[in-house]
């Protein structure tokens, strides 16, 4: 059963399945308008938006108490082909998040973060074509998910 709990979220993060077109994303209690030309998979995942991607997974308190968040981080990290990893603290919807920034072998950047937005625990998986160094490197759309 525990393995099933770990496999399901990984399937959630995978991009193997067909894409949908959505006008809005639902990020906890916030509705976010998807910019023109961006491709979504669901109301909870944007696959490509000018070099940016975002996926998030909601977790219940019981899952946190059982350490599922740490197991998910580890499993996701095992799928990454990265050359460098560093600790990262950031904000999402004005809430504190902690996680890691990965310099991927293909030159892109991936950020995995864990925190709480509007009382909801979540893991945030962000991809960037170019590593953002500060908030001025982020688009208004990207700032819905992360501020450095």
Beta strands in 12-94 (DSSP E): 24-27, 30-33, 39-42, 45-48, 52-59, 82-92
Residue 4 has pLDDT above 50, yes or no: no
pLDDT the model gives residue 15:
40
DSSP bridge pairs for 111: 101, 126
Q: Which pLDDT score is estimated for 2?
A: 54
Summary mean pLDDT of the chain: 89
Whose structure tokens read 């990265």? Answer: 82
Q: What is the pTM of this model?
A: 0.85
């Amino acid at each position: 059963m525990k393995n099933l709990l770990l496999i399901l979220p990984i399937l959630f993060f995978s991009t193997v399945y067909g894409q949908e077109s959505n006008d809005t994303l639902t990020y906890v209690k916030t509705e976010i308008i998807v910019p023109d030309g961006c491709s979504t998979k669901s109301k909870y995942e944007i696959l490509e938006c000018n070099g940016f991607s975002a996926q998030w997974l909601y977790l219940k308190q019981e899952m946190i108490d059982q350490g599922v968040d740490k197991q998910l981080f580890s499993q996701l990290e095992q799928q990454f082909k990265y050359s460098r990893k560093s600790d990262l603290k950031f904000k999402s919807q004005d809430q504190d998040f902690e996680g890691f920034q990965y310099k991927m072998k293909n030159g892109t950047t991936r950020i995995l973060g864990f925190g709480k937005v509007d009382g909801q625990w979540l893991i945030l998986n962000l991809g960037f074509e170019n590593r953002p160094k500060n908030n001025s490197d982020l688009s208004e759309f990207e700032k819905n998910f992360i501020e450095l």
